[in-house]
Amino acid sequence: GSGAFVPAVVVGTGYGAAVTALRLGEAGVGTLMLEMGQLWNRPGPDGKVFCGMPDPDRRSTWFKNRTEAPIASFLWLDVVNRTIEPYAGVLDRVNFGQMGVYVGRGVGGGSLVNGGIAATPRRSYFEEVLPQVDAGEMYGRHFPRALAMLRANEVAADWFEQTEWYRFARVAREAAAKAGMRTRFVPNVYDFAYMRREAAGEVAKSALAAEVMYGNNHGKQSLDKTYLAAALGTGKVTVETLHRVTAVRREEDGTYVLSVDRIDAEGRRLARKEIGCRYLFLGAGSLGSTELLVRARDTGTLPDLGAEVGAGWGPNGNVMAGRANPLLHPTGARQSAIAATCVDDWDHPAAPVFADVAPLPAGFETGISMYLAVTRNPERGTLVHDGATDRVRLRWEREQNAPAVAAAKSFFDRMNKANGTDYRYDLFGPRAKAFGDDFCYHPLGGCVLGRATDAYGRVAGYRHLYVNDGALIPGSIGVNPFVTITALAERNVERLVAEDIAR
């Protein structure tokens, strides 16, 4: 293939990657970002960049024959998913045997598809999970900087209290209060000022048109509008899209050589390239960064990688559940697709739960309160390389989610008891099931800080090889994770630019 050399390569364009590229660019380091997904800036035949959730087309999904929405059924009817052509769509569900992992594909990674919830973890839990990180510095500098750069903002309380679009969240707050649980606002990167103008009919609707998981056409301040725009603005950073890194090796002189497949949006391979660099930063996410390293270790291209690579993976204790509301407490046919509140019961001694009050913007009265619960589950999985398929496999048994389900059950049982309500059993597949516990939105770990790497993401055994994304966080952080991934990446790259990069 064609060869090229650049000073630094960043694999991926999600949170960790975007932070890394910006700070490298500011330091004057020529940096090439390689992203397997597309740049989402061109309208399709319908005039929209992204397709909506109610009637998804091929733009929704990364190379599948059918969409794979998390809430696939309603009254056990398969009403949500659609048959589609395989395409380089924006949302992927990586299906391991016992766990489906949702990830974003495209320039901006998870920021294109996620709910935008910009939560900062409880300091005491952060200190427990990442004891080698100076929490004073994180909470004093890096978290505030991350929140500002990401443009996190909160819904205005007066508007929240009266708008029909957040009736579902007020109903959920009342149910929580009856069980003695505290609901609070949670920041989001969706521009709430824009949302209010949507409600007033002044601008095109996005959050108020049920857009979220397959991309937002307006309003969301995803990474392409924040960190990545700033990174490109340094003039030192370039991005190549539809470039999938397949392998990494190291030459005698220390050059890292990446094997890269360039594909088109229909999945045809257009070229195989080799790209050399002096500094290699992996920001391909928990699954992506870990996959590259376990493959390199087990195929012998980076043989000095240790046994910690692949270990310490977890789904951040994710469990989804829906409650059936009494008829007298309608959640409303109109719901913003962007969450604005959470029920914070993390201080519960036996069953700590942080639950996002999730919208279910079906366009009709569902009578459902939906939640994504983040729980504290000590179980961990391991990512391993499968020599037969050359893909990564996840060692994770369904039973390992039992502690997460137990905590969620304790939490929602208390809420149901106080309100005389019950679970909805028809949302998570063909059989009656109260909890969505076989998929997650928050994959974390695989190259854990201080174990597979040093305290700043330098990969053990290899100079100038770094991980700087969700793979560093050991499986759990107690809230939605992207603010932590961003702040930790800021902390790490600041140190690496100061100490490792020759200028």
Q: What residues make contact with ligand FDA under the rule CB under 6 A? A: 11-17, 34-37, 102-106, 109-110, 113-117, 213, 244-245, 283-286, 288, 292, 441-442, 469-470, 480-482, 485
Q: Least distance from C-beta 13 to ligand FDA, angstroms?
A: 5
CB of 457 to ligand FDA, least distance (A): 12
Nearer to ligand FDA, 285 or 332 (CB): 285
Q: Of 284 and 325, which has the nearer Cβ to ligand FDA?
A: 284
The smaller minimum CB distance to ligand FDA, of residues 325 and 383, is found at 383
Q: Which is nearer to ligand FDA, 421 or 484 (CB)?
A: 484
What is the spatial distance between Cα 248 and Cα 385, in angstroms, rounded to a whole number? 14
Nearer to ligand FDA, 421 or 490 (CB): 490
Least Cα distance to 496 among 14, 27, 6 occurs for 27
Q: How far apart are CA 434 and CA 190, in angstroms?
A: 30
How far is the C-alpha of 158 from the C-alpha of 428, rounded, in Å? 35
CB of 413 to ligand FDA, least distance (A): 25
Q: Say how far apart CA 191 and CA 154 lie, in whole Å.
A: 9
Judged by beta carbon, residue 318 or residue 325, the one nearer ligand FDA is: 318
Q: How far is the CB of 326 from ligand FDA (least distance, A)?
A: 28
Q: Are strands 422-423 and 318-324 parallel, antiparallel or unpaired?
A: antiparallel
| Residue 448: CB minimum distance to ligand FDA, A | 13
C-alpha pair distances (Å), 475 with each of 151, 215, 424: 26, 26, 28
Three-state secondary structure of 395-407: ECCHHHHHHHHHH
Residue 492 CB, shortest distance to ligand FDA, in Å, is: 12
CB 129 within 8 A of CB 474: yes
Q: Which is nearer to ligand FDA, 352 or 419 (CB)?
A: 352
CB 207 within 8 A of CB 198: yes
Cα 498 to Cα 23, 33, 487: the distances in Å are: 11, 21, 17
Residue 220: CB minimum distance to ligand FDA, A: 10
Question: In Å, how far are 219, 237, 469 from 500, measured between CA atoms?
Answer: 38, 19, 18
Give dist(CA 97, CA 79) in Å, integer.
Answer: 24
